[in-house]
Amino acid sequence: MTVFELSQMEIFKYSPTEQHAIDFLEGLSFETIKSIGISTAGYFEGYWSGRGKKVVATTLDKKGMEYTKNLLKEVENLTFQIEDVTQSMPEENGTYDVVYSRLCLHYISDIELKKALSECYRILKKSGHIIVIVKSLNDWTAKTEGAYYEPETGYTYTPSIKRYSKISRRLHSIQSITEALSNAGFKVQYSNEFTETIYEDYERTVIEIPDATVIEVYGTKS
Ligand SMILES: C[S@@+](CC[C@H](N)C(=O)[O-])C[C@H]1O[C@@H](n2cnc3c(N)ncnc32)[C@H](O)[C@@H]1O
C-alpha cells in the first residue's frame, strides 16, 4: 500500500510535526534522508521514499520496525536498520542531505545527545538539513506526582507514570535543544513549541491524554 492509502485507511494518523517537516522539505532539492527512531510511525519516511528519495530508517525497536516494514513493504527506496543513536554511525562523512528525528532524541541524556548530534553533523552533506522533534519541559508528564529533573543528565524522571517502560525523558526547552544543535555546529533557522496528539500504542490507536507538548527545531550544516 502507498502512504496515501495508509493515511486514507487511518493507519497513519495526521501529525503536525511530521507534516511541517514534509512541507519544509517540499520546496528543497535533496535526494537522501536518514530517519533516526522510525518505530511504528513511517508516514514521513514512506512519503519521501514514495517520491523517489532514498530513505534509511533506524531504530532500537525491532518489533516496531517490523510492523512499519510490513506496512510499507511495497514502498521502494526505504531501508531499515537497527541502530543505537548513542553509538558511532556507520556512514561515511557527508552521506545524507537530510537527517530527521521525531520523538526519539529525548530518550537520550545530554552527553549522549552531544555525541549523537556530532554524528548527525558528520554524516550530513554541507548545507544539509537537520529536523528534530522532541518533547518539551512543558509537557504534562513533567508535572506529574514525584516528577523531578536531574541536572547531570538533563533527564526528567516521572515515577508515577507506570505504563512507561523507561521513566526518564530528556524533556527540552527551546533553548536547550537549540543550544545542543548549535554546539554541534548547526545553524538553527527555526524552532517552535506547541501541543500535539500522540498515541500510547504501537499501532497509534489509543490517544494519549492530554496532548504532548513538543518542540520542533530545524537547522543546517553550515
Ligand atoms: C516514540 S518512538 C517515535 C517513533 C517515530 N519517530 C514517530 O515519529 O512516531 C521512539 C523511537 O525512538 C527509538 N529510540 C529510543 N532510543 C533510541 C536510541 N538510543 N537509538 C535509536 N533509537 C532509539 C525507539 O526505538 C523508537 O523507535
What's the length of the chain?
Answer: 222
Does a structural domain hold residue 151?
Answer: no
Span between the terminal Cα atoms of the chain, in Å: 38
**Does residue 102's CB lie within 6 angstroms of at least one atom of ligand 1?**
yes
Establish if 155 belongs to a structural domain.
no
Q: How far apart are CA 129 and CA 141, in angstroms?
A: 30
Peptide bond into 210 cis (omega under 30): yes
Q: What is the pLDDT of residue 204?
A: 83
Centroid of ligand 1 to alpha carbon of 104 (angstroms): 4
Give the integer Cα–Cα distance in Å for 77 and 115: 28
Give the residue whose CA is nearest to atom 8 of ligand 1: 102
**Position 143 in a domain:** no
Q: Is residue 153 part of a domain?
A: no
Q: For residue 108, is it within any domain? A: yes
Predicted pLDDT of residue 159: 94
Q: Which atom of ligand 1 is nearest to the CA of 103?
A: 3
Do the domain assignments include residue 142?
no
The CATH number for 188's domain is: 3.40.50.150
Number of domains in the chain: 1
pLDDT reported for residue 39: 76
Question: What pLDDT, on the 0 to 100 scale, is given for residue 1?
Answer: 87
Where the chain has pLDDT below 50, the residues are none
Q: Give the pLDDT of residue 28.
A: 97
Query: Does residue 98 fall inside a structural domain?
Result: yes
**Rounded Cα gap, residues 3 and 16, in angstroms:** 16
- Domain of residue 37: give its range: 3-136+172-221
Whole-prediction pTM = 0.97
Task: Identify whether 141 is part of a domain.
Answer: no
Q: Is 198 in the pocket of ligand 1 (CB under 6 A)?
A: no
